[in-house]
Amino acid sequence: MEYREGRNNRVLVVDDQEEIHQDFEEMLNPGSNKSKADELASVFESEVEDKFLPDFEIIHARSGREAFEIVKKAVKDQKPIAVAYMDVRMPPGWDGVETTRHIREIDNDIEIVIMTAYTSRPLSEIVSNIKLLHKLLYVRKPFAREEIQQMTIALVEKWNIGKELEKKNRQLAKSREELKAQLDNALAKILGGFLPICAGCKKIRDEEGNWNQIDVYLRKHTEAEFTYSICPDCKNEFYSELYDDEEKKSS
Residue 28 amino acid letter: L
Contact of 60 with 94, CB cutoff 8 Å: no
Please tell me the predicted confidence (pLDDT) of residue 248.
60
The stretch 101-117 carries a mean pLDDT of 93
In a shared domain, residues 73 and 112: yes
Boundary residue ending a domain (164, 189, 218): 164
Gap between the Cα atoms of 58 and 52, Å rounded: 17
CATH of the domain at 32: 3.40.50.2300
Residue 111 has pLDDT above 80, yes or no: yes
Residue 191 has pLDDT above 70, yes or no: no
Gap between the Cα atoms of 244 and 193, Å rounded: 44
Q: Is residue 187 part of a domain?
A: yes
E-strand stretches of 151-214:
204-205, 211-212
In a shared domain, residues 159 and 216: no
Q: Is 202 left (phi over 0), alpha (psi -120 to 50) or beta?
A: left
Residue-by-residue DSSP string for 30-59: TTTT--HHHHHHHTTS-S-TTTTS---EEE
Confidence label for 202 from pLDDT (cuts 50, 70 and 90): confident
Boundary residue ending a domain (144, 164, 184): 164
Most confidently modeled range among 131-135, 151-155, 200-204: 151-155
Please tell me the predicted confidence (pLDDT) of residue 244.
67
In a shared domain, residues 135 and 38: yes
In a shared domain, residues 146 and 90: yes
Residue 101 has pLDDT above 80, yes or no: yes
Gap between the Cα atoms of 92 and 90, Å rounded: 6
pLDDT digits (tens, 9 = 90+) for 6-43: 789 999 999 999 999 999 999 998 876 554 445 554 54
Confidence label for 247 from pLDDT (cuts 50, 70 and 90): low
Q: Is residue 23 part of a domain?
A: yes
In a shared domain, residues 199 and 129: no
Question: How far does CA 239 lie from the centroid of its chain?
Answer: 53
Q: Is residue 52 part of a domain?
A: yes
In a shared domain, residues 84 and 151: yes
Residue 86 has pLDDT above 90, yes or no: yes
Q: Is residue 20 part of a domain?
A: yes
Q: Which of 31-35, 47-51, 86-90 bottoms out in mean pLDDT, i.e. has the lowest? A: 47-51
In a shared domain, residues 133 and 199: no
Counted domains in the chain: 2
Residue 152: domain span: 10-164
Residue 1 has pLDDT above 70, yes or no: no
Residue 249 has pLDDT above 60, yes or no: yes
Confidence label for 164 from pLDDT (cuts 50, 70 and 90): very high
On the CB side of 206, CA atoms within 13 Å amount to 13
Please tell me the predicted confidence (pLDDT) of residue 8.
94
Gap between the Cα atoms of 52 and 141, Å rounded: 24
Please tell me the predicted confidence (pLDDT) of residue 36.
46
In a shared domain, residues 101 and 123: yes
Gap between the Cα atoms of 77 and 86, Å rounded: 22
The stretch 66-93 carries a mean pLDDT of 94
Q: Which residue has the higher pLDDT, 86 or 202?
A: 86
Under DSSP, the state recorded for 133 is G
In a shared domain, residues 142 and 58: yes
Query: Which uninterrupted H or E stretch holds 175?
Result: helix 145-191
Residue 188 has pLDDT above 90, yes or no: no
Gap between the Cα atoms of 239 and 50, Å rounded: 73
Q: Which residue has the higher pLDDT, 216 or 160?
A: 160
Q: Is residue 4 part of a domain?
A: no
Largest CA distance in the chain: 95
In a shared domain, residues 91 and 190: no
Q: Is residue 2 part of a domain?
A: no
Q: What Å distances lie between residue 39 and 46, 66, 192, CA to CA?
A: 12, 34, 78
Angle at 120 (CA atoms; ends 115, 122), nearest 5 degrees: 70
Contact of 104 with 75, CB cutoff 8 Å: no
Q: Is residue 51 part of a domain?
A: yes
In a shared domain, residues 51 and 125: yes
Please tell me the predicted confidence (pLDDT) of residue 35.
45
Please tell me the predicted confidence (pLDDT) of residue 41.
47
Question: Per DSSP, what are the bridge partners of residue 84?
Answer: 12, 112
Please tell me the predicted confidence (pLDDT) of residue 46.
45
Gap between the Cα atoms of 129 and 37, Å rounded: 50
In a shared domain, residues 137 and 210: no
Boundary residue ending a domain (119, 137, 164): 164
Contact of 192 with 184, CB cutoff 8 Å: no
4, 18, 30, 28: which is closest to 61 by C-alpha? 18
Q: Is residue 3 part of a domain?
A: no
Please tell me the predicted confidence (pLDDT) of residue 224.
73
Please tell me the predicted confidence (pLDDT) of residue 2.
45
Average per-residue pLDDT for the chain: 82
